């Protein structure tokens, strides 16, 4: 079994265990590895523009807002914008701040007919450390030392 298949199988197993509708769920380091190995795979960052400017961006990620800040209104054109910017057969890996909005985006794309949708668990900033009230201390893309830059 090749490494791509191994990563996708692990992600799919997580999705099946949790009864999620999308193809799979990846840890940040698995998502990064898959992006490096799988031809045509795309990282879709669904955070708001404000989050990108304040918290940083992931190089080569495609940005399509799931919700707009301020107010957090849903982007009514999300699926259309995504379809215009990606190959219909591409493996899509969704990420947001914590994994919640990217979960909804991966679910919506799956329900819209896309089959290769994956969510990045932990997201860009990770879970909230209840002891300190901060993110980026327990897990997440940034905490794991994966590539990102300040906007």
pLDDT tens digits along 8-25? 999 999 999 999 999 999
Q: Return the higher-pLDDT residue of 1 and 103.
A: 103
pLDDT for 84: 98
Going by the DSSP 8-state scheme, the letter that residue 58 receives in this structure is -
Residue 1 predicted with pLDDT over 70: no
Whether pLDDT at 151 is above 90: no
Q: Is the dihedral of CA 125, 62, 47, 54 positive or negative?
A: positive
Fold of the CATH domain 3-120: Oxidized Rhodanese; domain 1 (3.40.250)
Based on the number of CB atoms within 10 Å of its own CB, is 109 exposed (0-12), middle (13-18) or buried (19 or more)? buried
Q: Where are the domains of the chain?
A: 3-120
Computed from CA positions of residues 27, 33, 38, 44, in that sequence, does the dihedral angle turn out positive or negative?
A: positive
The total of other beta-carbon atoms located within 10 Å of residue 69's CB is 13
Torsion-angle region of residue 13: left (phi > 0), alpha (psi -120 to 50) or beta? alpha
pTM: 0.97
pLDDT digits (tens, 9 = 90+) for 96-144: 999 999 999 999 999 999 999 999 999 999 999 999 999 999 999 999 9
């Amino acid at each position: 079994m090749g490494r791509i298949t191994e990563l996708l199988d692990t992600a799919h197993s997580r999705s099946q265990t949790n009864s999620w509708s999308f193809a799979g769920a990846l840890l940040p380091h698995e998502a990064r590895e898959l992006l490096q190995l799988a031809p045509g795979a795309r990282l879709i960052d669904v955070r708001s523009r404000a989050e990108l400017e304040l918290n940083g961006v992931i190089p080569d990620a495609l940005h399509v807002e799931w919700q707009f800040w301020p107010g957090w209104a849903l982007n009514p054109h999300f699926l259309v914008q995504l379809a215009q910017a990606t190959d219909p057969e591409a493996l899509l890996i969704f990420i947001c701040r914590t994994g919640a909005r990217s979960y909804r985006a991966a679910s919506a794309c799956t329900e819209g007919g896309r089959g290769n949708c994956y969510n990045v668990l932990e997201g860009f900033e990770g879970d909230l450390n209840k002891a300190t009230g901060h993110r980026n201390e327990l897990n997440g893309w940034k905490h794991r030392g994966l590539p990102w830059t300040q906007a």
